Structure 1
Amino acid sequence: MIVAPETRDLEELAARLVHWLSGRLAGATGIAVTDLAYPRGAGQSHETVLFDAHWSQGGRDHSQGCVVRIKPGAFTVFPDDLFDEQYRVMKLLAQESDVRVARPLWFEEDPAVLGNAFFVMERKRGRVPVSIPAYAREGWLHDASPDQRRTLWRNAVAQLALIQRVPVSRLGFLAGAAGTGLAQEWDKYRRFTAWLEETAPQPVLRDALVRLEAAWPAHDPEGLVWGDARIGNMMFDDDFRVVAVMDWEQPSLGGALHDLAWFCTLGETMHGRSSTHGAYLEGMGTRDETVALWEEIGGKSAAGLEWYEDFTHFKMTCTGVRLGHLRGTPTMDEAAMRRRLKVA
């Protein structure tokens, strides 16, 4: 059985949102919520619903495209609850950076409204390179010209690099019990492994942790971690320019190189010359080109990136094991996992 994030009756959700908005829009009349829909290719950890809000206020009619993102209940992909933090990160980025994010509008802590905490952000309009079906095999990016893909790639890497220009001093609320830097991300995935072992032993993951720790990198530049850095979490306009950087559900102050490593690893997997999807997209930058552009715009060195790419494979494997458990489907066999994680 395939498990997905919680879903609900959208007509009932509309009625609840109308009632809730009446308390948020002072003096508004004629509040209506229309065109509710679950987005195509939505994420696997949060229930996310698109809608349009309409109201009259101060003698004028208003309309706002919105997205409601609801804190997960039973379907939890990650051990850490960072729901409040993702809202705060997006709010800070929207107000104080050049990173293009959807503007957060309201946060609701009371679970009585929708069954759990939620927040509403503005809805951006554009296109997303989806994973199912794989964007390298079909769809608008597959059908684009190499020059258009080049524009998309440059814009995506520029946004990735601009994340590293956000002062970490403004993000102190992300500091974890293990502190900041690589130690914070390491602690998160060490605990992730222990969490997975509550369901089944994970000898390969344990061996991989030993191997990675023995090769601990010397270069650990500070920086904000987006958490799922890929073009599939970016929205683009018709000119192939970034409209929004999305899905901030696992942010941290773990360091600058985690997102770059994730971005490069996913790029090679999805559309690079070694793509496992069997499709190379001409115009998308190579790993080396991505690193060079990221360093140029972000102003930080990517020295030692190879270790972070190995750590990326470890992180992805942890997430894959967890999703396999939630869906009731087998994960990759032990031999394949050992090859992926480079452990004997």
Structure 2
Amino acid sequence: MSPAPQGLDPEKLRGHLDRARPGTVRGPLDATLLQGGRSNLTYLVTDGTDRWVVRRPPLGHVLATAHDMKREHRVISALAPTAVPVPEPLLLCEDDSVLGAPFYVMEFVEGTPYRTAEQLAPLGPGRTRGAVLSLVDTLVDLHAVEPDSVGLGDFGRPDGFLDRQLRRWGKQLDASRGRELAGIDELHAALGRSLPRSPAPAVVHGDYRLDNVLIGEDDRITAVLDWEMSTLGDPLTDLGLLVMYSRRLELPDSPVSTTAAAAGHPEPQELVDRYAELSGRDTSAISWYTAFAWFKLAVILEGIHYRHTLGRTVGPGFDRIGDLVPVFIGHGLSTLQEG
């Protein structure tokens, strides 16, 4: 048995599972932290025979709305019967006395999250291409789900979605202003002047990219993960983010990596064309959505840089984050002009 990871007491978890789902666990539980940090914490739990995954908010988190376990559990529960591959949820616990915070348990799904081009290299060009195209196909399936039909009709406020998103990230930028950033206010203003008309609302993942899904041995997606930013809104925001992550940064030793440089990775336009063909949606304004994704990531990176300058964020690579922000701003401006 390995030492219990911070944030999860295996004995308390087993006690709760024995009460809530008798017979599920057949032996002492062993837990391993799979993913940590500012995002929700993810643990692999096993009784030696079966495996499950537990999700809970980060330790000492402040913004409960950003780490809403009930919301995550609700969306994967709603999507489980659909064509969208998600882990089967087992239970939700909102009693803080068990693990110190709300959490939920879901099935363990086999698959690999590919985070870098180097990790994709062993697949070869053909399999890499298939995996990325599968990403588009699954996004089409997600956006085809009728929210009301799965009980998610009240999952968000789609009216005025893009305007609220732009204002939200503008406020995030203002909260992280510690230096002059040429072009960022120009980009924010230009996005505001050219807001596209949103299509019919859909369930939006909010952070849809290759390393937030699991790829199986057949190069198909076995599960879409990390639903903490999901809502009802403009589906093309998901596509714009996917297109942004499919652009080669051409930055050596960048602390922000993408898989776009992998041999066989489809070009962004092919992803857009495939989405348009399969979904039937008008993607003519994709430059705006991609530029917005560049802006949003620039704001996120600037926030990390700002906290690093204050000594609040430590670790490898954080000292180089600030150099990336002007690059993302430049890509956002040029992408908007292309549209």
Could you state the TM-score of these two structures normalised by the residue count of structure 2? 0.80
Q: Secondary structure at the match of 2:92?
A: strand
User: Residues 210 and 145 from structure 1, CA distance in 2 versus in 1: closer, same or farther, beyond 3 angstroms?
Assistant: same
- Give the 5 Å matches for 1:195-234: 195=172, 197-198=174-175, 200=177, 206-234=185-213
Bigger mean CA deviation after superposition, 100-109 or 13-22: 13-22
Kindly indicate whether residue 58 of structure 2 is the aligned counterpart of residue 72 of structure 1: yes
Q: Given the alignment, which residue of 41, 46, 56 partners 1:47?
A: 41
User: Residues 89 and 203 from structure 1, CA distance in 2 versus in 1: closer, same or farther, beyond 3 angstroms?
Assistant: farther
In 2, Cα distance between the equivalents of 1:219 and 1:92?
24
Bigger mean CA deviation after superposition, 21-30 or 306-315: 21-30
RMSD over equivalenced CA pairs, Å: 3.2
**1 or 2, which has the higher helix percentage?**
2
Q: Secondary structure at the match of 1:100?
A: coil
Alpha-carbon deviation of 1:89? 0.8
Alpha-carbon deviation of 1:225? 1.0
Task: Describe the superposition over 1:37-72 as per-residue Cα deviations: whole angstroms up to 9, x where unpaired.
Answer: 222x66741111111146xxxxxxxx4311110023
Kindly indicate whether residue 193 of structure 2 is the aligned counterpart of residue 241 of structure 1: no
Task: Describe the superposition over 1:245-301 as per-residue Cα deviations: whole angstroms up to 9, x where unpaired.
Answer: 111110111211011111111022479xxx987973232222121112212222322
Alpha-carbon deviation of 1:33? 1.1
User: Residues 202 and 309 from structure 1, CA distance in 2 versus in 1: closer, same or farther, beyond 3 angstroms?
Assistant: farther
Aligned residue for 2:266?
Answer: 285
User: Residues 12 and 241 from structure 1, CA distance in 2 versus in 1: closer, same or farther, beyond 3 angstroms?
Assistant: closer
Query: What residue identity is the alignment partner of 1:296?
Result: E
Unaligned stretches of 5+ residues in structure 2: 251-255, 335-339
Aligned residue for 1:59?
Answer: none
Kindly indicate whether residue 79 of structure 2 is the aligned counterpart of residue 106 of structure 1: no
Aligned residue for 1:161?
Answer: 140
In 2, Cα distance between the equivalents of 1:189 and 1:125?
37
Bigger mean CA deviation after superposition, 45-54 or 245-254: 45-54
Matched-pair contact (CA < 8 Å) for 2:7–2:59? no
If asked which structure has higher relative contact order (CA below 8 Å, sep 6+), I would say 1
In 2, Cα distance between the equivalents of 1:65 and 1:263?
31
Alpha-carbon deviation of 1:81? 4.7
In 2, Cα distance between the equivalents of 1:19 and 1:100?
30
Aligned residue for 2:337?
Answer: none
Matched-pair contact (CA < 8 Å) for 1:174–1:252? yes
Matched-pair contact (CA < 8 Å) for 1:67–1:120? yes
Unaligned stretches of 5+ residues in structure 1: 1-6, 55-62
Q: Given the alignment, which residue of 158, 179, 183 partners 1:180?
A: 158
Alpha-carbon deviation of 1:202? 8.2
Kindly indicate whether residue 1 of structure 2 is the aligned counterpart of residue 16 of structure 1: no
In 2, Cα distance between the equivalents of 1:174 and 1:114?
26
Aligned residue for 1:260?
Answer: 239
User: Residues 202 and 247 from structure 1, CA distance in 2 versus in 1: closer, same or farther, beyond 3 angstroms?
Assistant: farther
User: Residues 22 and 258 from structure 1, CA distance in 2 versus in 1: closer, same or farther, beyond 3 angstroms?
Assistant: same
User: Residues 149 and 43 from structure 1, CA distance in 2 versus in 1: closer, same or farther, beyond 3 angstroms?
Assistant: farther
In 1, Cα distance between the equivalents of 2:26 and 2:14?
10
Aligned residue for 1:332?
Answer: 322
User: Residues 337 and 201 from structure 1, CA distance in 2 versus in 1: closer, same or farther, beyond 3 angstroms?
Assistant: farther
In 2, Cα distance between the equivalents of 1:148 and 1:300?
27
In 1, Cα distance between the equivalents of 2:55 and 2:141?
25
Query: What residue identity is the alignment partner of 1:253?
Result: L
Task: Describe the superposition over 1:301-323 as per-residue Cα deviations: whole angstroms up to 9, x where unpaired.
Answer: 21211100011112212222333
Query: How many matched pairs?
Result: 313
Bigger mean CA deviation after superposition, 255-264 or 318-327: 318-327
